[in-house]
Structure formats: structure tokens, C-alpha cells
Amino acid sequence: MMKIKSTYINILLAFLFFVTKGNLSAQNETISLWPNEIPNAIANENYNEIEVLSEGQLSSTSKVTVPTLTLFLSDKDKSNGTAVVIFPGGGYRHLAMDKEGFKVAKWLNTLGVTAFVLKYRLPSDEIMENKTIGPLQDAQEAARFVRRNATKWNINSEKIGVIGFSAGGHLASTISTHYMDEVYVHDSISAKPNFSILIYPVISMDDKITHKGSKTNLLGNTPPEDLIEFYSNEKQIDSLTPPTFLVHATDDKTVPVENSIHYYMTLKDNSVPVEMHIYENGGHGFGLGVKGTSLYWAESCEYWLRTNNFLD
């Protein structure tokens, strides 16, 4: 009798697992960014993605060859037409998919925002003809994809923003300043974000303040000066750069706070709407916040989004 009961429970649990998994899949659809040919790609059968799981959840990944977007829909009653593409960080070496991706998407959903977590290619000469443009190609196409399909998910095409963390913040600031760059053949849809949110971002490739790992992974060991300047995004700002919200901690020993400060000052000089929160502590990689002054940045960001009419 006990054996029969145990078998019944196991069957029931398995059924519930598959039902739940099906529901999650329906809510969090994963979409191939490039359903046909991936631009700038080199085929390499020995280069395979490495996923790290934690309690059954994708925590981080590296060696990405097939970029994807994971869609997080907010409740229909809460949806306000705003969408955000999320760029997880990881020094252009890996992607912190959970802490700086999925968790952020769920927070945005509570604000009525439709979120897309981008699993972008990490720069590598083994799989790219030009590794410096690979992440930007994926970022531009992600923005175009969301705008191209805005009607499908009841998104306002004038309220599509980006958020990036650390090296993902560099990518978010890159698309915010290089959205017009012709890095692949595309349609007429704009890749320009309507706003950008940069969290402890790498901004500059200047050795005085850059994160050297991100710089080396993106540009190589001895990049030419013109390439260093090209991807020092504080030097690429103009009056058309999107409104920006910046967050950094003073005690960040990985990506110096000067990255955000320089970006802020140049945005200000170009009369671009910008708000910056520099916290006393928090270090680097605090995601949605840790105990200390950085804990409440998400609340400030929500207020900024509302004040700028992105959460109407």
C-alpha cells in the first residue's frame, strides 16, 4: 500500500513539474536573435557554450555562439507599453544571466515593463571575424527585434530602453552612442534606445579608469588608439544620446566610479537628461542592491522612469 501511494505521489509530482515548466515556458519564451545567418560568425565546432546552473536555474554562461532573447511578460493589467532589453555583465568573458538578467526582468515586470534578457555573443577571435563588433551587432539587432515586433507584445515603439550591468553597461552605453553604426546589414528599423539605465558600468577604455579585463576581452591586448577612443563611450556622446540613469558605488574597486562620472559630465555638457546616484558603499556587482546604501537604487530608478513618462 505504501509503495503504491509513493508511486502515485511521484507521478503527481512529475505531472505538476511538467505543467509548471510548460507555464513558465509560455511566460518566458526564449527566441533566437538570428534565426537565419549570424553575421560576423566563424563556424567552430570545438567552441561550445558553457552553462553554470544553480538550483536548476541558469546562473551564468560563457562561450555563447547562438544569441537569444528571453521574454518576460508583465501581467496584462499592469503592462504600460514600456520595454527594456537587459544586458548582463561579466567582463565580456561570461554573462551573469540570473543576478543581472532574469532577476532584473522580474523586477521590471512588477513595474508593468516587458523585459527581454539578451544572451549576447562574447568577443572571441575563435568565432568572429571581428570580435570588437560582435556584442554591438547583437545589441542592435535586439533593439530592432523588439521595435519590429512591438505590436505583437503591445509595446510602445517610442518607449524601448536598455539596462546594462558592468560590461553589460558598456554594451548598453555602446548601443546608446553607436546605434547608427553600420555593423551588419539590417532593415530600416531604428536600433536607438529611448532611454538607458547603466548600473556600475564600464564606460571608458582609458587605462586610467577602465576595467582592464573588459578592455582586453573586447579590444585585444594592444588595441590601436583610435579603437580605444571609439569604444570609450564618454567620448561618443552628442545631444541625441538617450536620457540616462546611472548607478555606481564609491567603493567599487573593480570598475572605478569615474566611469559613470565622466559619462554623466559629458551628458550634462550635451544637455542630455541624466540622473546619477553614487552610493557610499556597495562595491561591485551588487545587482538589484545589497545591504548598505546601494540597496535602494531600484526605487530611485522607478521614480526616474515615472518622472520621465516611461511608466505611464
Tens-place pLDDT, residues 282-309: 999 999 998 878 889 999 999 999 999 9
pLDDT at residue 312, rounded to an integer: 79
Cβ(18)–Cβ(47) under 8 Å? no
Between 193 and 24, the more confident residue is 193
Q: Is residue 48 part of a domain?
A: yes
Q: Is residue 312 part of a domain?
A: no
Q: State how many domains the chain has.
A: 2
Tens-place pLDDT, residues 205-241: 999 999 999 999 999 999 999 999 999 999 999 999 9
Give the structural domain span for 17: 1-29
Contacts of 249 (CB under 8 A, 6+ apart): 200, 257, 278, 279, 280, 281, 282, 283, 284, 286, 293, 294
Contacts of 106 (CB under 8 A, 6+ apart): 72, 115
Q: How far apart are CA 17 and CA 13, in angstroms?
A: 6
Q: 211 with 233, same domain? A: yes
Q: Is residue 83 part of a domain?
A: yes
Q: 155 with 11, same domain? A: no
> 15-24, 27-36, 131-140: which has the minimum mean pLDDT?
15-24
Q: Read off the pTM.
A: 0.91
Q: 55 with 2, same domain? A: no
Tens-place pLDDT, residues 63-114: 999 999 999 998 877 889 999 999 999 999 999 999 999 999 999 999 999 9
Q: 170 with 199, same domain? A: yes
Strand partners, 278: 248
Q: 39 with 22, same domain? A: no
Q: 177 with 291, same domain? A: yes
In this structure, the number of other CB atoms found within 10 A of the CB of residue 215 comes to 24
User: Residue 71 maps to which CATH number?
Assistant: 3.40.50.1820
